[in-house]
Structure formats: C-alpha cells, structure tokens
Amino acid sequence: MKYIIDILKSGLSFRQYKEISNCKCHWNTIYNFFIKLRKTNIISLTYHDTVNRYTNKYLNKSSNKSPNIIITDTSLIINKLGIDNIGYNPQLLKHKTSKISLICDIKGIPLEANIYNGSVYDSKILNIQLDEFIKNNNNLLNNNNILLGDAGYDSNQLRNKVISGNIGKLLTAKNKRNTKNKDKLNALKLSPEIKLLLKERIKIEHTNAHLKQYKRLSIRYDKYSYNYQVFLYLACINLILNRTNLK
C-alpha cells in the first residue's frame, strides 16, 4: 500500500516507480495488488466509511442545530492517455479533459468525489452526483443545510432536487450571461448576506488545489477512469486523515 501512495504522490507509472525507487517488489506485483483493491472496491468502501466517521463526529445531524454549509465545484483535469470520461472543454480546447467534481463541507473535507466527462456542464454533473450524495450521506440530510455553488449551478431544476432530496437549499451566484436587460440584472443582484456566505466557496478551491498536488491526479495518465477514481479516493482519504483527528 505504501508503494501505491508513493505512486499517487509522485505521478510515476508502476514501471517507472520500480526503476527509480528502492522498491524490492516487481512493478507487476504492485500493479496487480492495485487492481485487486479496485475490483473489490476496498478503497471506495474505505473512503465512504472514513467520510461517515467524520460526519458522525464533527457535523450537525439534527435539523434543530445550526445548518451545515456544503460546497460544490468541479476542477478540470488534462487527459493524456484516458479513453473514457473525456471531452473537449472551452477552457482547454487543445486537450480532451476530465472533471473532478467535489462536494465538501465548510472545512474543505470532501464528502463526495467523482470523475466525469470534461465536456459536461457543471449543473448536469451535480444533478447526477446528488444522487450519490443522498445515498452515501443519509445521516446529513436535513432541510437546514445550505449548498453553495457558483453561477454554473444556477438552475431551478437543481434547486428543486436539493429541496426534494432533503439536502437543504441551494445558493449560487446568478448566471447573467443570457440577458443584458438592466432591470433583469438588478433583479438578479444578491443580498450582502448571501454574498458573504458565497465567499466560503474559497474552501473548496483550496481542496481542489490540495488534491492537484498529488501528481497522479493533476494530469490523467490512467487509461480507464475507474483506476483514476481509486487514486482520487486515496487522496481524499489522506486529506481527511491529515485534517482531522480520525484514526
């Protein structure tokens, strides 16, 4: 397991890691162990168990308490060798990309992390990811929560899903791209309280930056997204353990 963590941090392939490091195992032994972890879903189950232990210990689960602030955002990942969950994105036209989508708490702890096609809109990604969030974080569901997002999530369909899923309410910056009418623009202005609350989105930006420090995540070399997802879960587990007192 130590060797796989080193590969996550260094970004080396399994072959390169054997050549450069002092590892006594054959690279194929490490790779086969990694594949067994992926096929048995051990890393995925460990990640979700770690998140549940964290939420049970640190986050409010009663609707009578102060609301939990939850934040969502995506981060583009340049693709080199991947063949699935990739697509062209206007921000990086020369590259096919993937997207990491996170749902974090106010401390930047990733409560849900997934990889998606880079050409899919953020609102559509969240619409899919909320189903996983409801399934894996049932202990957090109450209408007192507040989910923060940028203007890419300004969607009535998403707001209705957040309410119907008992997640709380969705607050976003307003999408002003479709109108130049001054009256409509004035109607889209946010209150000072909501503007102040939306500044907390910087926490998820810090988490995205932290995850990209793992070189295996910053550029995708994994052919299949389910292998990349394992490295993403490992990085999230490491981040949670480093930021909390969980053991």
pLDDT in tens, 172-205: 987 666 666 665 656 567 778 888 999 999 999 9
3-state secondary structure labels for all residues of the chain: CHHHHHHHHHCCCHHHHHHHCCCCCCHHHHHHHHHHHHHCCHHHHHHHHHHHHHHHHHCCCCCCCCCCEEEEEEEEEEECCCCCCCEEECCEEEEEEEEEEEEEECCCCEEEEEEEECCCCHHHHHHHHHHHHHHHCHHHCCCCCEEEECHHHCCHHHHHHHHHCCCCEEEECCCCCCCCCHHHHHHCCCCHHHHHHHHHHHHHHHHHHHHCCCHHHHEECCCCHHHHHHHHHHHHHHHHHHHCCCC
DSSP annotation of 188 reads T
| Structure-token pair, residue 76 | 């583009």
Computed on alpha carbons and rounded to an integer, the radius of gyration of the chain in Å comes to: 19
Nearest alpha carbon to residue 128 among 138, 140, 146, 115: 115
State which CATH number among 3.90.550.10, 3.40.50.1820, 3.30.420.10, 3.40.50.10470 fits the domain covering 41-243: 3.30.420.10
Burial, 6: exposed, middle or buried (Cβ in 10 Å; 0-12, 13-18, 19+)?
Answer: middle
Q: Tokens 């997002």 label which residue?
A: 149
pLDDT at residue number 182? 64
| pLDDT confidence tier of residue 73, bands split at 50, 70 and 90 | very high
Q: Tokens 């389910």 label which residue?
A: 226
Whether 148 and 70 have beta carbons less than 8 Å apart is answered as yes
Question: pLDDT averaged over the chain?
Answer: 90
Overall size of the chain counted in residues: 247
Task: Look at 76-80, 95-99, 175-179 and tell me which has the smallest mean pLDDT.
Answer: 175-179
User: CA-to-CA distance for 247 and 238, rounded, in angstroms?
Assistant: 11
At 36-50, the pLDDT tens digits run 999 999 999 999 999
pTM: 0.92
Instruction: Look up residue 103 and give its amino acid.
Output: I
DSSP annotation of 118 reads T
Residues 6+ apart with CB under 8 A from 144: 60, 63, 65, 66, 67, 68, 168
Whether 74 and 173 have beta carbons less than 8 Å apart is answered as no
Task: Look at 58-72, 110-124, 189-203 and tell me which has the smallest mean pLDDT.
Answer: 58-72
| Structure-token pair, residue 69 | 């602030």
